[in-house]
Each structure stands twice: as structure tokens, then as C-alpha cells.
């Protein structure tokens, strides 16, 4: 889908609103002040002064206003205390395939990994759609913007449910190995989708040293190695990782919602005392085997919940 972003002044924006007034549509998204849809173009105006044109007629409609508006400048990367590989000075403005995961520290629910390709000409669009460090965003906000992001970027989401997780973990697989394999699979899927386009770099939110990561993958039939970089706090370094983080989180939240329905109780996130209490309730109501089917059994929460059951 073709897209263009221009920036208009406070005086120019009302002209856009008036021009597309008869094509107005309701769009409840963060920062949106006006939206319209013509036969071949979607127009979205933001409080920031930016106007996003999407569709076959995007270039034509943007050109109608770009004589007055200014082109969007690439934002400087956020300050970070990230560690890992040394990245190019202009890394934030390059075409990058990024990956991230979530759910690894949660007793309930799966592990989800997402990979996302953001080309250099998509960076400002993705930012306009609301992407920033996912740790600065609420779950509700991420769920709100996820569908828009999926329409724009090429991505892959891998979800390892609890039954499969417990099975391979009991065979001696570490979380590091599990995550490495899921990252590798997600990255491979995106590369296949964008072929013959090749990202300038691949950035993985680092959870293991390079040697350890690739050692985890030694038995895999296909290993993504070319142009791979690792960094902690990678979501601050390129919007591709920030987007991947959001999509992974939303997939995790959707899985948690479904598991909550099956359990008959809202499942808490994390691995704290509240988790132990809810796990105890589930054992009493549905039995220990059911609890195992929706949790990471090797977590200490399992034994803590059992103690609560027998204590009472």
C-alpha cells in the first residue's frame, strides 16, 4: 500500500478538513483529529500537524497539499544505555528487521515472539501510528494501535503455548534456547515474505551473547546469520524492534484473554503473590492438570499454589 506523510501548519490543516469533509469517517485512534476515505485513498490528520495518506491515490492526494506542507524529518534516536553490538550512526533511519519477545517472566500464558520489517520510508509512518518504546505504553494502547501497524508493516508472530512449552522445558530446554528458536523462525518468515527485498540490518533485542544465541540454534536446519546485530534496549534503537515488541505483547494479551475465559477467572500477569492465589483457586476449581495446561509449570508459583491449597 502506497503512503505519504506531510506536515501542515495550524492554518493549513482546516483546509484539508474542509476539502475532505464530505468523505469524513470516524477513526478512534490516538492523536487523530480528522479522518476521511475517498475511493482510493485514506486520509488521517493528527494533532501533531502530520497528515497521512494511504492507498493507490496517496501520492496524488499528498501532492495536492505538499506544496504548502513540509516533508517529515527523521527523529533522532532516543538516548539509551543499551549494550551489545556497535550500530551505525544513522541506524535509526535504516531499513531494519527487528525482533522481540514477551511472556517469559509470566507464570500464566505463552511465550510470544514477533519480528517486524520497517523500511526506511515507513519509519515516520510507523511513528505516526503511535510506535515508541513499548515499555512506555499501556496494554490498552498497544491493543488499540496493533491492527493499524499490521496493515502497514511485514511481520511474523510466533506463539508457544503452555503445553508445548512445558513439554520441551521438561526435556531440558532453557528459556534462552526456546527464545532463540522462536526468534529465528519469526525472522525467517519475515525474510521470506519480503523477498527479494533485503533489510540493511537485522536487530534482535538481546537476551544472550552472540555465541550463545547461535549455539542454541546449532541443530536448526536454517539459521538467520547475515547482518544480524544484538543490543539490549533495542526498542529504543529502531522502530522495527519497538513495533515487534508491541505485536508480541498484543499476541500475549490475546492469549491471556482466551486462557482467562477457559479458567473462569482473570489471569494476573507476572509471577507475584497474586499469581499464587489465583493458581490456588484454579487448582481447587479445575484441578492441577488444568493449571499445568495454562502455566509454565517449572516456575516456583506451582509449588507455592499447592502449598496454599493444602494449607487451607
If one counts every other C-beta atom within 10 angstroms of the C-beta of residue 306, the result is: 16
User: Residue 72 and residue 124: Cα distance in Å, rounded?
Assistant: 7
- 168-205, pLDDT tens digit by residue? 999 999 999 999 999 999 999 999 999 999 999 999 99
* Res 136 pLDDT > 90: no
Average pLDDT, the chain: 88
Closest CA to 184 of 120, 136, 115: 115
**Region 120-137: what's the mean pLDDT?**
83
**Sheet arrangement for strand 50-54:** 32-37, 42-46, 50-54, 3-7, 70-71
Q: For 147-161, how does the pLDDT look when each residue is reduced to its tens digit (9 = 90+)?
A: 999 999 999 999 999
Task: Say yes or no to pLDDT of 225 above 90.
Answer: yes
Give mean pLDDT, residues 252-272: 96
Please tell me what DSSP assigns to residue 296. -
**Residue 137, pLDDT score:** 81
The pLDDT of residue 135 is above 70: no
The CA–CA distances, whole Å, from 35 to 26, 41, 46, 162, 208 equal 7, 11, 9, 41, 44
Question: In the predicted model, is pLDDT for residue 273 greater than 50?
Answer: yes
How long, in residues, is the chain?
A: 312
**pLDDT > 70 fraction of the chain, expressed in percent and rounded:** 92
What burial class does residue 259 get, using C-beta atoms within 10 Å of its C-beta: 0-12 exposed, 13-18 middle, 19+ buried? buried
What's the predicted TM-score (pTM) here?
0.75
pLDDT at 294: 98
How many CB atoms are closer than 10 A to CB 273? 12
pLDDT at 48: 85
Classify 61 as helix, strand or coil.
helix
pLDDT category of residue 16 using cuts at 50, 70 and 90: confident
How far does CA 186 lie from the centroid of its chain?
12
Amino acid at each position: 500500500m502506497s503512503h505519504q506523510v506531510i506536515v501542515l501548519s495550524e492554518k493549513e490543516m482546516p483546509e484539508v478538513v474542509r476539502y475532505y469533509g464530505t468523505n469524513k469517517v470516524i477513526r478512534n485512534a490516538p492523536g487523530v483529529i480528522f479522518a476521511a476515505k475517498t475511493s482510493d485513498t485514506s486520509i488521517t490528520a493528527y494533532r501533531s500537524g502530520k497528515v497521512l495518506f494511504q492507498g493507490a491515490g496517496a501520492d496524488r492526494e499528498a501532492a495536492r497539499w505538499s506544496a504548502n506542507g513540509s516533508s517529515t524529518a527523521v527523529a533522532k534516536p532516543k538516548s539509551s544505555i543499551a549494550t551489545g553490538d556497535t550500530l551505525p550512526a544513522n541506524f535509526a533511519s535504516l531499513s531494519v528487521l527487528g525482533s522481540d519477545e514477551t511472556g517469559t517472566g509470566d507464570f500464566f500464558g505463552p511465550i510470544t515472539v514477533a519480528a517486524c520489517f520497517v523500511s526506511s520510508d515507513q519509519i515516520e509512518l510507523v511513528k505516526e501510528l503511535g510506535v515508541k518504546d513499548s515499555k512506555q505504553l499501556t496494554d490498552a494502547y498497544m491493543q488499540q494501535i496493533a491492527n493499524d501497524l499490521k496493515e502497514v508493516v511485514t511481520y511474523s508472530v510466533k506463539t508457544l503455548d503452555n503445553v508445548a512449552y512445558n513439554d520441551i522445558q521438561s526435556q531440558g530446554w532453557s528459556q534462552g534456547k526456546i527464545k532463540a528458536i522462536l526468534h529465528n523462525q519469526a525472522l525467517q518468515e519475515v525474510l521470506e515474505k519480503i523477498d527479494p527485498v533485503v533489510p540493511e540490518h537485522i536487530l534482535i533485542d538481546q537476551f544472550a551473547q552472540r555465541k550463545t544465541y547461535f549455539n542454541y540454534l546449532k541443530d536448526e536446519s536454517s539459521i538467520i546469520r547475515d547482518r544480524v546485530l544484538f543490543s539490549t534496549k533495542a526498542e529504543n534503537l529502531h522502530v522495527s524492534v519497538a513495533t515487534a515488541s508491541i505485536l508480541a505483547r498484543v499476541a500475549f494479551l490475546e492469549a491471556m484473554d482466551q486462557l482467562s475465559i477457559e479458567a473462569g477467572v482473570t489471569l494476573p500477569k507476572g509471577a507475584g503473590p497474586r499469581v499464587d492465589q489465583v493458581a490456588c483457586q484454579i487448582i481447587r476449581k479445575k484441578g492441577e492438570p488444568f493449571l499445568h495446561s495454562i502455566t509454565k509449570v517449572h516456575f516456583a508459583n506451582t509449588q507455592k499454589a499447592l502449598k496454599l491449597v493444602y494449607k487451607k
